[in-house]
Structure 1
Amino acid sequence: MIGKTHNTLRLARQRSVRAAAAVFLFPAMFFMVIFILYPIIDSFITSMVQWNGMSRNRTFVGIANWMQLVKDANFWAAFGNNVIIMFLSLLFQVPFAMILATFLDITESKGVIFKVVWFLPYLISSVAIGVLFKFALDANYGIFASISKALGGGGVDLLGNPRAALFTVIGVVCWQYIPFYMVLYLAAYGTIPVELYEAASIDGATRNQYFWRVSLPLLKPTVISGATISIIGSLKYFDLVFVMTGGGPGVSTELMATLMYKTSFVKFNMGYGATVACGMFLLITIVAFITITTLNKKAEV
């Protein structure tokens, strides 16, 4: 009898917990369906029509837009530019952010001024940064052009040079986002017990040995999370690049997001623009899945 009463109470408690969970999760799930799931489904539906985005007439074309996307050299060039940004962002953002975070962790309260100054770029709007550097790197009146002219040279056109434009943009992207990863790694440093450093010091470990043998292994999950965020963010980047170069010169800085925007809202080819967006969504999902799976396996080793 006591056992049955216990089971009845346990089942009642489980139903109560499930009901409470459903009540609290419903608003979040509702907005996720409306603002995330529905737009994704609608984009895939739109990718199968020919539509200018304004008229009521939509011509169903099946997979014609997708066939065009597979053969579109501009789309794959844009994807290639995204991949270049992804690799170079990882190459510069993660190590530099780790160096800055390590410096701030060592200096503690003495490095507060550095923490504030170094974090400022991340507080500025991407659009504002794009406008700022567009003028700062102007071919005739920018910083490098002014220095060159002062030394007797000519103008320096970094954003107008197809060979230099993408790398210039990547430099600005890294300048803006390194502070974010710096704070991420600095927060992770705060989770490492001070006793570990004291024990390592007693054992005669140097600061360099402590970093490689103690700190870095404990920071590995955070480093992996930061790398994942950087990869996904690099594949969907838009605003700063669009403001600085508009995807030019030519297609040298064209990204998947800028190509999608131009196709949809400049050329008013909403059907193919949706196809570009869906292709971008699929590629980012595949890359993110591979990245997360690979990094998690390495973390378990």
Structure 2
Amino acid sequence: MRKEKQYSLKQAKARSTAQAATVFLLPALLLIAIFIVYPVIDTFIISGYKWNGISSDKVFIGLDNWKTLIHDEMFWKSFEHNIIVMVFSILLQIPLGMLLATFLDAGGKKFNLFKVIWFLPYLMSSVAIAFLFTYALATNGGMVSSLATIIHGKKVTVDLLGTAPNALFTVIGVMAWQFTPFYMVYFIAGYGNIDTTIYEAAVIDGATRWQYIKHIAIPLLAPIFKTACIMSLIGSLKYFDMIWNMTQGGPAGSTELMATYMYKLSFQQFSMGYGSTVAAGMFILITAIALLFNKVFKAKEVY
């Protein structure tokens, strides 16, 4: 009898917990379903139609848009640009963020002012940064051209955004300038989770600061590195606003990304069906790369 009573109490507790979880999770799940799941499904549905995005008549064409996408050179060129942006974003933003975080962790509270100053770019709007650097890098009167003129003693024009491949790498540099502070703060949080007694023990054993960082801190930060790389990877494959406001995919498609190409097709050329196919292709490629990256570079967490 007592066992049955205990069993019924466990059942009641489990039921109560499930009900509470449902109540709290339902609003979040509903929002995810409306703003994430439904748009993704609808994008794949629209990709099967020839539609301008405005008129009520849609013409079902099956997989014709997908056949076109497979042979679309501009889409694959845009994907290649996304891969370049992804690689350089990881190689620039994460190591720089790690270096800044290491510097600030070593300085302690004395360097709090640097934390504020270096974090400011991340607080700025990507659109505002795009316009700021567009004017700063202008061929005539821009910061780089003016500096080159002073150095050479005669008028020199430097066109970083109007020539290929300079435009793409210039935009990558601007992206790194904005997003490196995010990874700086991320690694500062990682350093904060490392027990200070570990550093003290390393110092007692005669380890230098560099030896501590190389042999102790970096291995302990391995899960942070993995997560940072995945976030950088996914973010770099979705870039749109900054590059659109700086180059709009030019010159001659040298900075075209999948997102800008999709936007042009859907909202400038009014080819919503094929634009949705490009968006669906983006979704598949980004998901596949993220899963592959997570599998290949799986970091072993240390507790």
> TM-score range, shorter-chain basis?
over 0.9
Task: Give CA deviations for 1:61-117 in whole Å, capped at 9, x if unaligned.
Answer: 100000000000000000000000000111111111111000000001111111111
1:168 aligned residue = 170
Task: Give CA deviations for 1:114-143 in whole Å, capped at 9, x if unaligned.
Answer: 111111100100000000000000011111
**Which amino acid in the other structure matches residue 103 of structure 1?**
F
TM-aligned CA deviation for residue 299 of structure 1: 2.5
2:106 aligned residue = 106
1:286 aligned residue = 288
Task: Give CA deviations for 1:38-68 in whole Å, capped at 9, x if unaligned.
Answer: 1111111100001111110100010000000
Q: How many residues align?
A: 300
C-alpha distance in 2, partners of 1:122/1:138?
Answer: 23
C-alpha distance in 2, partners of 1:129/1:261?
Answer: 20
2:124 aligned residue = 124
2:232 aligned residue = 230
Percent identity between the two aligned chains? 51
2:91 aligned residue = 91
Q: Does 1:299 align with 2:294?
A: no
RMSD: 1.1
C-alpha distance in 1, partners of 2:17/2:110?
Answer: 48
2:199 aligned residue = 197
**Which amino acid in the other structure matches residue 257 of structure 2?**
L
C-alpha distance in 2, partners of 1:43/1:13?
Answer: 42
Q: Does 1:58 align with 2:58?
A: yes
Identify unmatched segments of 5+ residues in structure 1.
Answer: none
**Which of 244, 248, 251 is residue 250 of structure 2 equivalent to?**
248
Following superposition, which runs of at least 4 residues in structure 1 exceed 6 angstroms of deviation?
A: none
Task: Give CA deviations for 1:208-246 in whole Å, capped at 9, x if unaligned.
Answer: 111111111111111111111000000011000000000
2:80 aligned residue = 80
**Which of 209, 213, 216 is residue 211 of structure 1 equivalent to?**
213
C-alpha distance in 1, partners of 2:73/2:296?
Answer: 29
The TM-score normalised by the length of structure 2 is: 0.97
Q: Does 1:28 align with 2:25?
A: no
**Which of 258, 261, 267 is residue 259 of structure 1 equivalent to?**
261
TM-aligned CA deviation for residue 5 of structure 1: 1.1
C-alpha distance in 2, partners of 1:20/1:205?
Answer: 51
Q: Is the 8 A contact 2:79 2:257 kept in 1?
A: yes
Q: Does 1:142 align with 2:122?
A: no
C-alpha distance in 2, partners of 1:234/1:189?
Answer: 25
TM-aligned CA deviation for residue 200 of structure 1: 0.8
TM-aligned CA deviation for residue 300 of structure 1: 6.1
Task: Give CA deviations for 1:17-42 in whole Å, capped at 9, x if unaligned.
Answer: 11111111111111111111111111
C-alpha distance in 1, partners of 2:34/2:271?
Answer: 24
TM-aligned CA deviation for residue 153 of structure 1: 4.5
Please give the secondary structure, in 2, of the residue aligned with 1:170.
helix
C-alpha distance in 2, partners of 1:80/1:153?
Answer: 36
C-alpha distance in 1, partners of 2:110/2:279?
Answer: 47
The 5-angstrom pairing of residues 265-276 of structure 1 reads 265-276=267-278
The TM-score normalised by the length of structure 1 is: 0.98
Please give the secondary structure, in 2, of the residue aligned with 1:299.
coil
Please give the secondary structure, in 2, of the residue aligned with 1:12.
helix
Q: Is the 8 A contact 2:220 2:301 kept in 1?
A: no
C-alpha distance in 2, partners of 1:300/1:226?
Answer: 14
Task: Give CA deviations for 1:236-286 in whole Å, capped at 9, x if unaligned.
Answer: 110000000000001100000000000000000000000000000000000
C-alpha distance in 2, partners of 1:25/1:116?
Answer: 36
Identify unmatched segments of 5+ residues in structure 2.
Answer: none
**Which amino acid in the other structure matches residue 218 of structure 1?**
L
1:19 aligned residue = 19
The 5-angstrom pairing of residues 147-158 of structure 1 reads 147-150=147-150, 151=152, 152-158=154-160
